[in-house]
Amino acid sequence: MSFELFEMWKKQNLPRNIIEELLLIEEDNKAIEDCFYQYVSFGTGGVRGILGAGTNRMNIYTIRRVAEGLARYISSNGEEAKKRGVAIAYDTRHFSYEFAVETARVLGIHGITSYVYKEARPTPQLSFTVRELNAFAGVVITASHNPKQYNGFKVYGEDGAQLVPTGANAIIEHMNQISDIFAIEVADVTQLEQQGLFHWVLEDLDEKFMNNLLTLKNNNDINYNMKLVYTPLHGAGLVPVVEGLKQFGFNEIHIVEEQAVQDGAFPTVSYPNPEEAAAFSMAIELGNQVGADLLLATDPDADRLGVAVRNGNSYELLTGNQLGALLLNYILQTKQQNGTLPADGAMLKTIVTSELGATIAAQYDVTTVNTLTGFKYIAEKVAEFEMTKAHTYLFGYEESYGYLIETFVRDKDAVQVALKVAEMAAYYSTKEKTLLEALEELHEQFGYYKEALVSKTFEGKDGQEQMKAILNNYRLNTPKEIAGVAVVRVEDYLTGVATLHDGTTEPILLPKENVLKFVLEDKSWIAIRPSGTEPKCKFYFGVVRETKEQANNILALLKENILI
């Protein structure tokens, strides 16, 4: 089937760049199969894949297919949904702008209104825009922190959150009914503008987003002269982060100018991911030049934030778990001091996020609610709290550098968090403490929580089968102990059942997902899950001990004793 599709594509009147890519793989059967064995899969809120020719690649035809599925889904919800329309944003990647406009052209054929940003803007701003415009849906063209070869199409619901499975499955059903992607019609932008179905947006929404960001400022007793370095890593975070820091009152903001250039080739980094130490190399160089106390980096669509703190003559990167714990404690402490900490407060975290946050929350009598991995589930809980009044949302985060403070955004938001981290660091600066020293105080109080993530890449069709086999093997051969420590609880999120060491079972009241988690007798834990956005199987590890050395030792043992 792959080769038949390949031949069919060759017969089409295609853009020159796609024709050239087809010619490159013409003699490579394995490459042809990988490009055509499936359509780019609709995973975590949308599609993400490598740019190129073929059904399993990101190009205008696969974008049209997803846009057509979305258009049919919106149309099935009636004329009011079509009139409310879709907000569309995009990052700085190759073809992001073109894919955004192409999406609006497909929607326009169906009489659906589009509101398209004139310039690249962060994913969290798109989330805000959906709700601000009362749009029925949102789209952001991005592959987040993936390498330059990737792009994606992420869909948001009317609540400003990534689509949960119900909505996503409806779009997938419509996509599966499309028999010929080359027959999908697109409209002319000028005609759509004349018909009132296409609107460019920018300045007004920039201002409204900034006004909401400024509500995060709730501590004036801080060191506004603290020196900051910020890098957007060639992405879309530049405008709101820098303007937000200025309006917060910071006077010493130093930008990595080479990385302020919006360029989808990401020429100064091999991987534009603030989780990676290498992404900070230029920020560290500038930090040393200006004597900065804090380094901030956002990924291309500015939904993830990385932070590095001066430690003597060098800088130390904080993990997502560490920064989440610091932010949580700072937010709860500030609210408690201001008398605004609610009695029904809750914080949200994912099942693979450190338990340190839950321990801190308990100290403030704040409830911890766990969700599946993926910020859409945190956003779903935020909406649930608003509806049921069961809890007041205070903070949500995941280990993969995603955080949300205020709910005018319904996705992880590096812009919000960049401002709050700067405020937090400046507050501790007045106490003559760094964030590292503040973190050490948390460990001394609550224990040394240490985590690790090991990712193994499985490319292509065979890789998908290998990942399934790994999980199935663990289900068939469930370990009784790991590194000499008894497994006391096995959580299978695919079956929705937790099995205790004595054989009794408990239901897991979360959506089904292909994840396994082993909880050990000493409170250590291991989780295994295939990524929803990358061809990777991820192995998460968490431990807690009385000393840092003990925690590091047991963490190393767990990593050695798990079959990867």
Annotated active-site residue in 144, 400, 429, 524:
144
144 is catalytic: yes
CA dist 138 to 145, 158, 159, 326, 494, Å?
A: 20, 7, 9, 32, 29
**CA-based radius of gyration for the chain:** 24
- The span from the CA of 470 to the CA of 124, in Å, is 34
- C-alpha count within 13 angstroms, C-beta hemisphere, residue 211: 7
Residues 6 or more apart whose Cβ sits within 8 Å of residue 405: 216, 327, 331, 395, 413, 416, 417, 420
Backbone torsions φ then ψ of 302, nearest 5 degrees: 55, 40
What order do you get walking across the sheet with 345-350 strand by strand? 367-371, 345-350, 392-398, 402-404
Contact 409, 127 (CB under 8 A): yes
Amino acid at 523: K
Amino acid at 404: L
- Helix, strand, or coil (residue 298): strand
- The span from the CA of 509 to the CA of 497, in Å, is 9
Contact 268, 222 (CB under 8 A): no
| Span between the terminal Cα atoms of the chain, in Å | 33
Residue 503 Rama label (left phi>0; alpha psi -120 to 50; beta): left
Place of tokens 């029904």: 344
Catalytic residues: 144
